[in-house]
Structure 1
């Protein structure tokens, strides 16, 4: 089978802990399965042997092959089992010696925000991504901002990199689970929500002034997310007082977005900014960092603040909390903006690139 033409998706992401990149890969894979019109030629998910995060293959047939795991499996065994098929890698990494492939690089954070990653992670990603530019791989990213950034840091023309959107409807399609609201006594009081990991460029430390003012008002700042110490080298200084709920399920996250009075997203650097789209899809007013990627994605569906100015972030969030007309306008604009981003649309754009041939 590995020596026949067709499409195969790199399933290494299915063995990894869920984060933004794995979310993108999983939802894109589901969308490809959903929109594919010829069952006899359905792409396969090619993954290492062992337990997958989703045993159903995200809607695609699963091939588990090889004896290795992690980067070794991806670099050594994956290209052999992919054979002549077009290999689609959705999560920033890909084998250097695949015959025909398309690779999604989400952002240039390891170049632009190096202090947020361990030295081993930076060294490998920089080497790998620059090396991929010297192959015939078709390069893809998720925003015009990331396209410009990757072209700059990788030393390639912007014409070498294509752009496809992300989606956000997955969060709305998951029934809300109010257990997290009841567990933390959030059902009957206003709160402000932030979602992010401990990477310094997520900039959670900038929320300290906001947290203090909200505490005086009896309004909790709720923070959801996790951290991977093997990736993030520096430990962020986290705002206090705040209510940390850790990693939550999609249903619980839906309930948090739906119940929150405001979603605040203070990142210094994003390739796309999926949490902002999720919040908009759930009708939560958004205060976002005034950075190019978030302004590109959110447009008029958010109000913006300088992420380097904690007082500006605090003022913007309080403005949303205190101005019901502004809050309602952001909700309405958010619903419309979120409808623009769907995984089916993203998958159609992805498949169109495979049909146009690899570079």
Structure 2
């Protein structure tokens, strides 16, 4: 029996991945009886692994946590942003002295993109460890065909949190110079968005959306002049994928490898992440009615069924064969 840490399941990012993949695992599994947040660097020492019944054959976590227990473990490590962005000192002991040894002991780790695979291989620096890119997926709601959100003014769209590596402030500064456009933001960080809007004097042109379902989000993508993904670092870049599948143009920072991996051949790249003028120029250059080319990205390439099958196959191969 495989046991799975389902505490990661949610609506966005790792939470979305965890929910979609665990629901589709092609093997018998049991939920871990666990409380607390799996994202805490101290979770592995403050929480004991609680499992009903016999000792499991292995533990699977769809996020970056493991357990101090002598049982085989498989994790999906989406990226190394915790080690590359601000605040890395908080996470480095956990990654270097617990997570890396755990991965080396088990001899394998899952990830979500070729970019993250390369970064993980460099960080682990052990040819005996297998890094498997199981990919990432997208909901069937995200497609070219469908209803578009109707607005009286053209708008750009951003989906995600407002952490510093997301570089959202640069786009807000650009929007301040583009008076004919509104800026729609899908996030749970209301206070941070309001502070940014006030700082740049665009409160009347910024609209917040939160807790919306995939159908509504797809409508927002289809109605937008473009989706902006200004991130400096990403393990994948799910909003860029969702936007592209809806036919929405994507403006992204060329130095963000994982987003470039998704958008190459169809997106609009900005060469300098901090150059507000360049963001204004690239965003302003997108004409009404432009669509992300349908042939560049297909839903079949990013199927949750395919991702879950890859994860299931590895779990069976490593722990159940």
After TM superposition, the score normalised by the length of structure 2 is 0.81
- Say if 2:235 is the partner of 1:268: no
Of 205, 208, 212, 2:169 maps to 205
Cα distance, 1:313 vs structure 2: 2.1
Q: Counterpart in 1 of 2:31?
A: 46
Q: Deviations over 1:170-214 (max 9, x none)?
A: 4438x9898xx6xxxx53432110112121000001113420233
Alpha-carbon distance in structure 1 between the residues aligned to 2:243 and 2:209: 17
Q: Counterpart in 2 of 1:26?
A: 19
Alpha-carbon distance in structure 2 between the residues aligned to 1:238 and 1:122: 30
Pairing of 1:287-298 with structure 2 (within 5 A): 287-290=251-254, 291-298=256-263
Partner secondary structure for residue 282 of structure 2: helix
Cα distance, 1:159 vs structure 2: 5.1
Asked if the contact 1:91/1:106 (under 8 Å) is kept, the reply is yes
Asked if the contact 2:2/2:56 (under 8 Å) is kept, the reply is no
Q: Counterpart in 2 of 1:316?
A: 282
Asked if the contact 2:2/2:59 (under 8 Å) is kept, the reply is yes
Cα distance, 1:268 vs structure 2: 0.1
Q: Counterpart in 2 of 1:245?
A: 208
Cα distance, 1:101 vs structure 2: 2.1
Asked if the contact 1:110/1:126 (under 8 Å) is kept, the reply is no
Partner secondary structure for residue 221 of structure 1: strand
Change (3 A) 1:83 1:267: same
After superposing the two structures, state which structure 1 stretch, 282-291 or 303-312, moved more. 303-312
Of 183, 205, 226, 1:221 maps to 183
Partner secondary structure for residue 312 of structure 2: helix
Of 105, 113, 127, 1:135 maps to 105
Cα distance, 1:157 vs structure 2: 3.8
Alpha-carbon distance in structure 2 between the residues aligned to 1:235 and 1:262: 19
Q: Counterpart in 2 of 1:84?
A: 56
Gaps of 5+ in 1: 1-5, 37-41, 48-64
Q: Counterpart in 1 of 2:303?
A: 342
- Say if 2:266 is the partner of 1:301: yes
Q: Counterpart in 2 of 1:150?
A: 120
Alpha-carbon distance in structure 1 between the residues aligned to 2:195 and 2:122: 30
Q: Counterpart in 2 of 1:8?
A: 3
Partner secondary structure for residue 12 of structure 1: helix
Asked if the contact 1:27/1:343 (under 8 Å) is kept, the reply is yes
Partner secondary structure for residue 156 of structure 1: coil
Alpha-carbon distance in structure 1 between the residues aligned to 2:173 and 2:50: 48
CA RMSD of aligned residues (A): 3.3
Q: State the number of aligned residues.
A: 305
Cα distance, 1:122 vs structure 2: 5.3
Partner secondary structure for residue 355 of structure 1: helix
Alpha-carbon distance in structure 2 between the residues aligned to 1:82 and 1:127: 29
Alpha-carbon distance in structure 2 between the residues aligned to 1:283 and 1:8: 39
Alpha-carbon distance in structure 2 between the residues aligned to 1:162 and 1:21: 17
Change (3 A) 1:84 1:45: closer
Alpha-carbon distance in structure 2 between the residues aligned to 1:211 and 1:158: 48
Q: Deviations over 1:110-130 (max 9, x none)?
A: 1111x156x545554554322
Stretches of 4+ aligned residues off by more than 6 angstroms: 79-82, 175-178, 234-237
Change (3 A) 1:79 1:315: farther
Q: Deviations over 1:275-319 (max 9, x none)?
A: 111111222111122121111122213121122322222222212
Asked if the contact 2:104/2:129 (under 8 Å) is kept, the reply is no
Gaps of 5+ in 2: 38-42
- Say if 2:74 is the partner of 1:108: no
